[in-house]
């Protein structure tokens, strides 16, 4: 797999969905998926995770993120009928849980 920087990364064969973890300024960061070790980023902070399940949305469209730092993030949720793009604002909080609000997806 070739990244935007033109480097190549090895992964298991990809037959479905995948994720590329890219930690800015990071190297050798442990990545968890569903509280299980999914791997460790390389010396450039990159890890390719092959063959992910589809989005973990519940019946009402809710989703769960873990250990996301405060800030503004561009997000894309893909599903059988298309995709939804939005900006997620993660607030600074000292609590162990935060509801980041509702997002409305509209076809363009």
**CA dihedral (96, 38, 71, 63) positive or negative:** negative
pLDDT tens by residue, the chain, 108 residues: 444 456 676 776 766 677 888 887 777 888 887 778 888 998 888 888 887 766 566 667 677 777 778 888 887 776 667 777 888 888 888 877 777 877 777 655
Same domain, 21 and 71: no
Query: What pLDDT score does 6 carry?
Result: 66
* Nearest CA-CA partner of 18 in 10, 26, 7: 10
Task: Write the Ramachandran bin of 103: left for phi over 0, alpha for psi from -120 to 50, otherwise beta.
Answer: beta
Same domain, 49 and 98: no
Query: What pLDDT score does 71 carry?
Result: 87
Same domain, 40 and 25: yes
Query: What 3-state class would DSSP assign to 60?
Result: coil
Query: What pLDDT score does 95 carry?
Result: 77
User: 44: domain range?
Assistant: 1-53
């Amino acid at each position: 797999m070739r990244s935007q920087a033109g480097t190549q990364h090895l992964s298991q064969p990809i037959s479905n969905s995948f994720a590329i973890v890219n930690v800015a300024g990071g190297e050798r960061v442990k990545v968890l998926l569903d509280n299980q070790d999914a791997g460790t980023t390389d010396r450039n902070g990159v890890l390719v995770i092959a063959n992910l399940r589809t989005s973990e949305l519940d019946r009402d469209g809710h989703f769960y993120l873990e250990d996301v730092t405060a800030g503004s993030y561009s997000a894309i949720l893909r599903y059988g009928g298309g995709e939804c793009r939005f900006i997620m604002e993660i607030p600074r909080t000292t609590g162990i849980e935060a509801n980041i609000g509702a997002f409305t997806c509209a076809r363009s």
